Structures are given as structure tokens and as C-alpha cells.
Amino acid sequence: ANEQTYQALGVDTLGQRLGGVEAVASRVGGNPAEWHIREVGDGNLNLVFIVTGSTGSVVVKQALPYVRMVGESWPLPLYRAHFEYYALVRQAKRAPGVAPEVYYFDKPQALIVMEYLHPHVILRRKLISGERVAELGATLGEFCARTAFRGSELSMASPDKKADVGLFSGNVAIPAITESLVFTDPYYGAEMNRHTPELSPVVDELRRNARLKAKVQRLLMKFTANTETMLHGDLHSGSIMATDTSVRVIDPEFSQYGPMAFDLGMAVANFFMAYFSQPAHRAASDLDAYQAWILEVITDCFTRFDEEFRHLWQTERTGILFPRALFEEQGNSADDACDALLEEIREDALAYCGIEMHRRVLSLAHNADFEEIEDTALRAKLEARNVLMGQVLIMEPQAYCDLNALVALAKAYN
């Protein structure tokens, strides 16, 4: 077959098609006809295979030209795989050891061969099962700080950063999904929306709040217009894989340049949703301790973000922003400027957090934390807590930048 013509991989054809690729064959080992190939994609969009041979395993991820969870009626460009690849290699440099290592990339086939994370499982599953992961909040806070700082003009040479923004501006289809599904659809009766029937009174009240909608649209303006740094773009607990002691981040196909606060806010929102859904998943005897642990993960994530960001501010501030000479000439300290910036990031992260808390129960793509609660009355009761806290975070994020106040708010809604 013509190598330039895209063809979706299948379990039957993968060995034949990738058997001759040295970067794959050398890691998998043995006769490609005998490779063990499993399709494991559980996501909304792509094909994902685990390929095992005599010496090892790799993961093969290939984009499909449509949204997998909806079907061919919703086309989606294959080029998103290119941006996933670009993001993976940038993350590997900016936050070493977190993203899976890339072994091979085939652009026309929209195909990435990468490190098989094992025995990692999707973090969302662990949170639903009540398992703890050491250093979870700290690892994610550090990842967000490193990618935010090192992908920005605090650190990067301005021409390089501007060229990268130009490159990523070619990714239009994926940001369009975020813009509608995350920021707009939750707040009106958009066609693809759904929510738990018993949640309707809360949803109706939310959608009557014109000030809320205006605030969210202002945050959307900031999201679309802002190119501060390269985002992961989809940092939910289904994009994180973990063992009890290791945390890795996958699936950056929603990567784009955007506000520094976005990934941090999205990650934290997924911990709040895990928190609010726990009463349906835990026996009463374990509930308090496990929920307390989730709140610690959240505070660790924010705290570590700030610590790492401050460290990079001191040691790697080589870009056009806040140049040392500007401050040092008059003997000024730039520390206050860093604190003020971190406060602004915290505030924006809380607002983005509130939006993510809304869209996962009101828009198209829900999360298992709530979805797997079969008793819809109980589900709606827990979702309502999540929706109401999200609303507060969007309306007055500045009141919860203090982490004690944030934790108290979550407990008040629980």
C-alpha cells in the first residue's frame, strides 16, 4: 500500500505494517507475525494498541478521522496526532520523566509509537477504587509549573516561542471542541448535552445566572486569545496514569498555547469531582479519611506548583518577561512580581476549575466518577454539590486563593 495514504490500523494488520519499522521491531522483538496485539482504547477519540513481542511492549496510538465516541458523522482531522506528538516531545524536555517516551512518529498515518506504561492504570480508576498514590499532588503541581514556565516567554527565546505558537495555531479543530464543550455548552441547552434527570432544578438555576455566563465567556476570551504557554489541554484524571508510587501524564492531543492556569485548574477540578463522588464509592468507615486525602492532593498540587514556579523564576528566567536588569538596576526585588503573578494564576485556575466541574456533569463528555453511580437520585445529589461549588469558584475565585478557605468550601458543600 502507498505509505502516504492513511489507513486505520487493526489488530490483524499492525504487525505487518509496523514489523519493518526498526524503532518498533527492536523494542518489541521476535517475529511480527507472532506479536501479541490488543486494542485498549477506552478514550473518546483514538485507536490505542498494546503490542508485545519477545523482548518488550510498546503502545501504538493512531488518530481516527472522526470522533470515536460519536462515529463518522462527526469528522475530526487526523492532524491532531501531529500536535499530540509535538506536545509529547516538548513535555519530555520541559518536565522530564512524566510524559511517555516517544519511539516513532508517522505523520501521514497519524500514528505515534510510545513507551508502554506498566503497571500503571488510569488514575480515575484508582480514585474510584479508593487507592492512594504517593506524591500525586506534588508531581502534578510540579509538572504544571514546569510546562507552564518553560513553555512561556519567561523562559523561552521569544522567536522560538512565537514560531511554536504559529505551529500550534494550525490546530483549530481541537480547540474548537474545548471552546464549545467546556466553556459554552454547559450553560445552555446545547444539542449534545445531557445530565442526570434529578439534577434539572440545579441546572435550570445555573443557566438563569447571566453573570455566571458572562464570567465564563470572559474566561473563554482569555483562553482563546492568550498564548502564555503550551498547555496539555486535557489534564483530567483519565489523562493521568499511576501506580501507587509513580505518576505519568498521557494524551496531550488537546495541546495548544493558552493561559498558564488552565491545566492546573482542570487537574484540580478532577480531584474535586473525585471528592464529591466518594460517598457513592466508599464504605462509611473509609470515607472521611479518603476524602481528606483527596483534599491534601489538591493543596499539595497548588503548593508544589507555586514552589516550583518560584524556583524556576529564580533560576531559569531567561526570556523577555520580567528581565533581571529591569529590577536589578535600581536594586528592586522581582519576588513581589512573582508572588503577584502566582496569585493571578491561582485565581484563574480556580475559575477554570469551576468550569471543568460544570462541564463534566452538564455537557457531552462525562466522567466515570459520577457516571458509574447507578442510583440517579444519589448521583444527582452528589453532582449538585459539585455544580454549586463550581459556581462559587467561577463567581469569586479570589475568595478561595487561600487554601484553607478552599478546603473549607469543599467541606461545606460535601
C-alpha cell at 312: 524556576
Least distance CB 141 / ligand ADP (angstroms): 21
**Which among 109-117, 260-268, 286-294, 331-339 is the span making contact with ligand ADP, rule CB under 6 A?**
109-117
Q: Is 252 in the site for Mg ion (CB under 5 A)?
A: no
The least CB distance from residue 84 to ligand ADP, in Å, is 8
The cell numbers describing 17, all together, are 505494517
Residue 83 in contact with ligand ADP, rule: CB under 6 A: no
Give 384's contacts (C-beta < 8 A, 6+ positions apart).
Answer: 199, 202
Instruction: Report how far residue 119's alpha carbon sits from residue 36's, in angstroms, rounded to the nearest whole number.
Output: 17
The site partner of 40 among ligand ADP, Mg ion, none (C-beta below 5 to 8 Å per kind) is ligand ADP
Q: How far is the CB of 85 from ligand ADP (least distance, A)?
A: 12
User: Hey, which residues between 220 and 259 contact ligand ADP (CB under 6 A)?
Assistant: 238, 250-251, 253
Contact 361, 387 (CB under 8 A): yes
Judged by CB under 6 A, which of 117, 190, 334, 409 binds ligand ADP?
A: 117
Question: Which of the stretches 18-26, 110-118, 324-332, 404-412 binds ligand ADP when contact is defined by CB under 6 A?
Answer: 110-118
151 near ligand ADP, judged by CB under 6 A: no
* C-alpha cell, 191: 444539542
d(CA 334, CA 190): 46
Stretch that binds Mg ion, among 198-206, 237-245, 264-272, 390-398 (CB under 5 A): 237-245
342 binds, among Mg ion, ligand ADP, none (CB under 5 to 8 A by kind): none
Biggest CA-to-CA distance, the chain? 70
Residue 153 touching Mg ion (CB under 5 A): no
Position 369 contacts ligand ADP (CB under 6 A): no
- Close Cβ partners of 397 (under 8 Å, ≥ 6 residues apart): 346, 347, 348, 350, 351, 354
Interface with ligand ADP, residue 49, by CB under 6 A: no
SS3 33: helix
Q: How far apart are CA 52 and CA 348, in angstroms?
A: 43
How many angstroms separate the CA atoms of 39 and 23, rounded? 20
Burial state string for 237-272 with b = 16 or more CB within 10 A and e = fewer than 16? bbbbbbbeebbbbbbbbbbbbbbbbbbbbbbbbbbb
State which residue, 42 or 328, has the beta carbon closest to ligand ADP: 42
Residue 81 C-beta: closest distance to ligand ADP, Å: 9
> Residue 124: which H helix or E strand, with range?
helix 123-129
Q: Would you say 61 or 94 has its CB closer to ligand ADP? A: 61
By beta-carbon proximity to ligand ADP, the closer residue of 133 and 199 is 133
Nearest residue to Mg ion, scored by beta-carbon proximity: 43
Q: Per-residue x/- mask for ligand ADP, residues 9 to 48, rule CB under 6 A?
A: -------------------------------xxxxxxx-x
Distances 316 to 87, 311, 413 between C-alpha atoms, Å: 21, 8, 40
* Coil vs helix vs strand at 317: coil
Report, in Å, the least distance between residue 84 CB and Mg ion.
8
**Of 65-73, 233-241, 335-343, 346-354: span binding Mg ion (CB under 5 A):** 233-241
Q: What is the DSSP letter of 20?
A: T
Residue type, 133: V
| Binding interface with ligand ADP (CB under 6 A) | 40-46, 48, 59, 61, 100, 114-117, 122, 238, 250-251, 253
Residues that bind Mg ion in the complex, under the rule CB under 5 A: 43, 238, 251, 253
